Chains A and B, each alone.
Chain A
Amino acid sequence: MTTQNRRDVLAGLKTVLQEITTIKTVVRTYMSIDLLNYSQADLPLVEINEPEETPDPEMTSQREMMDMNLALKCWFLNWGENPTATYESLVKAIRDKIGSNFTLSCAAIECQVGSVSGLEGEMPLFSFKITLRIKYYLDMLSA
């Protein structure tokens, strides 16, 4: 099978999220994002936080499954009294997009949504988190 690697998995995830029309910006971050670098027009913004990875050996010294856990943090603006509708539509859009392309265009074996946090923040800037569980194969022979 084709060798997979974390770089392509994360790039694939970014590409998939960028295909969601309601999301304006997708960025990978190694630490908390500095929102002061972004304008209102850049939101909704999804940051892909650096993942935590654990190996899951399948065939010792030949093939190894990697489990990758990461969190997406989605920031959005809402000037209305109730941001719930925007929150729900963004959650649905992200879940549906990942659900319809759960291999992240063959970059991974699978990508599943783990949990969705509640809404955080105060008017007009809100955020929520979505955790993802991603599995991909490392081909040890060709590594």
Chain B
Amino acid sequence: MANLAALIKPGITGVVFVDYQRDYDTGSGPEKTPGAFINDLYEEKNRLLKDLAKNTLQVGIVCWVRAEEGESLWTKLNAFVLAIQGKIVADPNLSSQAYYAKVTRIATDDGSRHPVGLAVIAVEISYFSAI
């Protein structure tokens, strides 16, 4: 998860804020854009041997951008989403920490209105562990 976060910040130039989803105020605000929250949605552990398990994480990256006046919100949002997707595609084993990481779904928020746009990138991460 830390490596996934590192792909976005400092991996993508200009990203101001990346954190894990908290149950308290993180201090994120409109001034911290573009930014992303990494949400741990679901984890599955499949035991292969007594001392070996294959783990699959489903992660939702909630990302947001803010467009200035005169800027296209969707162009900016799409660029950010593509940048994150490109980083994951370029480093699918998250610096040798995962078996694979792949983007399974991208959803942009139809309710986004200038100046703030939201998108969710669902990522599946698989890794092996000693139970």
Contacts and interface: CB of A to CB of B under 8 A. Distances in A.
B128 A36 contact: no
Contacts of A42: 49
A123 interface: yes
A27 to B, nearest CB: 14
Nearest to A34: B50
Contact of B50 (A37, A124, A125): A37
Majority secondary structure, B binding face:
strand
A123 B50 CA distance: 16
A37 B48 CA distance: 10
B52 A40 contact: yes
B48 to A, nearest CB: 5
Interface size of A as a range: 10 to 19
A125 B49 contact: yes
Contacts, number: 24
B51 A39 contact: yes
A123 B52 CA distance: 12
Interface residues of B, number: 8
Interface string A9-21: 0000000000000
B99 A36 contact: no
B47 interface: yes
B128 A40 contact: no
Contacts of A125: 48-49, 52
Interface string B32-48: 00000000000000011
Interface in B5-49: 47-49
Given A40-B52, A125-B52, 12 more contacts: A35-B48, A36-B49, A38-B49, A38-B50, A39-B49, A39-B52, A40-B49, A40-B51, A123-B99, A124-B48, A124-B52, A125-B49
Interface of B: 47-52, 99, 128
Interface of A: 35-40, 42-43, 123-125
6 contacts: A35-B48, A35-B49, A39-B52, A43-B49, A124-B48, A124-B128
